Copies of this chain bind each other. A is one copy, B any other.
Amino acid sequence: MASSLDGSSPAASNVRGAEYPRIHPDLRVTFRLLAPNAQQVQVQPGGNDNGLGTGPFDMVRGEDGSWTVTTPPAVPGFHYYSLLVDGVAVNDPASDTYFGYDKQTSGVEVPEPGVDFYDAQDVPHGEVRAHWYRSQTTDQWRRAYVYTPPDYDTHPETRYPVLYLQHGGGEDETSWAKQGRANFVLDNLIASGKALPMIVVMDCGYATPVAVLPPPAPRPRPLRAETGGQGQRQELPGEAMWERLRQISDAFEVLMINEIVPMVDATYRTIPDREHRGIAGLSMGSFEALRIGLGHLDLFASIAALSGGPFGGFDLQTACNGVFRDPAAFNKKVRLFWLGAGTAEVWIHTLIVGMHEALQGAGVRHVFYESAGTAHEWQTWRRHLHDLAPRLFRG
């Protein structure tokens, strides 16, 4: 990418040939939109504070009718954002779009200096396959994204373990590969021998027709800004949100157990036993992973919750149908139990730390990983996958 005199470069997430957004060496981001007739244009980062800052950032009109703003230095990673054109939230035509917030949404990639574990490196690459299957549960043709490791086609006798990997609320089966770069994370880990070659199945975590769900709960809003940091206090989710997540997970559990796992085992060269089957998910997907994984230990021996805990908070005696009550039995049965959070996602981090401490106190074997300085967004989950994948299907 060409750098300008001020050292800034077009973001890697820009569409072909777009000069803006531009990333500065200190990770400030300059956005620009041509909108000669607009009265007000702003940049609105997604969520409460995703690392771009809270916003909205007022753009300033230039004489040529283009509007520009430069943000403070951003936290590295992938950040959703919208442009507010006279108050209407729209995508930036200069950026690629990603399915988030239940629609196609702009995103900007802010590089992390010296970090390349999620880049396309000069190593063998696996494929990401769009695989269609007919679901009886939802009465529709559904699409799963399936990562097959680099040697999958050239070693036709080899069978592989499988990780089922779920996205967050408002996202879909495309998100782990597109926003998360899961395939590149795996390619690099496999090439260096740090992770075993594995199949990764990324399906859409919504299996209930939208019409029968209660409306989405309002997103948590900031109560007050903390000083000196990126994090913000957020309200805890209310009962309506838990109930909605419960309904979504109920439906997805049926689909996963009755259809996705059998379909994957029938279609791909899997090792079809619990020791070689794991499930992980982020945010909403963590509820699904905990519910499905811990609820079906006959099928899954490895379970990971990324930035999310069990329904309604964590109690060692009652959480996940009491599976933690007998640590010895749990430790014998569960091969890997993995928890992660970003330090800047305040209430979730607090929740997971509490869960970690309770499990530790009770002697429940698990891994707890903190992503320093990152919020409830994709840089956290890329790091999570990078820590999680090498631990899977070992020993």
Stretch at the interface among A122-130, A296-304, A340-348, A353-361: A122-130
Query: Given the known A-B contacts A104-B96, A153-B267, are A39 and B88 also in contact in the complex, defined by CB atoms under 8 Å?
Result: no
User: For the complex, is A210 an interface residue (Cβ under 8 Å from B)?
Assistant: yes
Closest Cβ of chain B to A323, distance in Å, is: 32
B141 near A131: Cβ-Cβ < 8 Å: no
Stretch at the interface among A29-37, A68-76, A240-248, A326-334: A29-37
User: For the complex, is A102 an interface residue (Cβ under 8 Å from B)?
Assistant: yes
Interface of chain A residues 27 through 80 with chain B (CB within 8 A): 33-39
User: Which of chain B's residues has its CB closest to A177's CB?
Assistant: B130
Pick from B36, B93, B183: contact of A87, CB under 8 Å: B36
Closest Cβ of chain B to A138, distance in Å, is: 12
Complex formed: what's the CA distance from A33 to B99 in Å? 19
Chain B residues within 8 Å of A89, by CB: 93
B103 near A15: Cβ-Cβ < 8 Å: yes
User: For the complex, is A85 an interface residue (Cβ under 8 Å from B)?
Assistant: yes
Complex formed: what's the CA distance from A86 to B172 in Å? 31
User: For the complex, is A17 an interface residue (Cβ under 8 Å from B)?
Assistant: yes
User: Which of chain B's residues has its CB closest to A170's CB?
Assistant: B16
Chain B residues within 8 Å of A270, by CB: none
User: For the complex, is A91 an interface residue (Cβ under 8 Å from B)?
Assistant: yes
Closest Cβ of chain B to A269, distance in Å, is: 9
Query: Given the known A-B contacts A102-B16, A103-B93, A156-B156, are A37 and B87 also in contact in the complex, defined by CB atoms under 8 Å?
Result: yes
Complex formed: what's the CA distance from A335 to B127 in Å? 33
Query: Given the known A-B contacts A128-B129, A128-B130, A129-B128, are A91 and B94 also in contact in the complex, defined by CB atoms under 8 Å?
Result: no
Complex formed: what's the CA distance from A102 to B96 in Å? 10
User: For the complex, is A236 an interface residue (Cβ under 8 Å from B)?
Assistant: no
B90 near A93: Cβ-Cβ < 8 Å: yes
A125 near B129: Cβ-Cβ < 8 Å: no
Closest Cβ of chain B to A345, distance in Å, is: 25
A38 near B153: Cβ-Cβ < 8 Å: no
Closest Cβ of chain B to A54, distance in Å, is: 21
Chain B residues within 8 Å of A177, by CB: 130
Closest Cβ of chain B to A251, distance in Å, is: 14
| 14 A-B interface contacts by CB (under 8 A) | A16-B206, A16-B210, A18-B103, A37-B39, A37-B88, A38-B86, A85-B86, A85-B90, A88-B90, A93-B103, A120-B132, A120-B141, A127-B129, A153-B267
User: Which of chain B's residues has its CB closest to A268's CB?
Assistant: B153
Complex formed: what's the CA distance from A153 to B120 in Å? 26
Q: Which 3 A-B pairs have the closest CB atoms?
A: A90-B90, A37-B87, A125-B132
Query: Given the known A-B contacts A17-B102, A130-B127, are A91 and B90 also in contact in the complex, defined by CB atoms under 8 Å?
Result: yes
User: For the complex, is A97 an interface residue (Cβ under 8 Å from B)?
Assistant: yes
Complex formed: what's the CA distance from A206 to B263 in Å? 37
A39 near B39: Cβ-Cβ < 8 Å: yes
Complex formed: what's the CA distance from A2 to B210 in Å? 11
**Cβ proximity bits A102-137 to B, threshold 8 Å, 1 near / 0 not:** 111000000000000000101001011111111000
User: For the complex, is A223 an interface residue (Cβ under 8 Å from B)?
Assistant: no
Closest Cβ of chain B to A278, distance in Å, is: 23
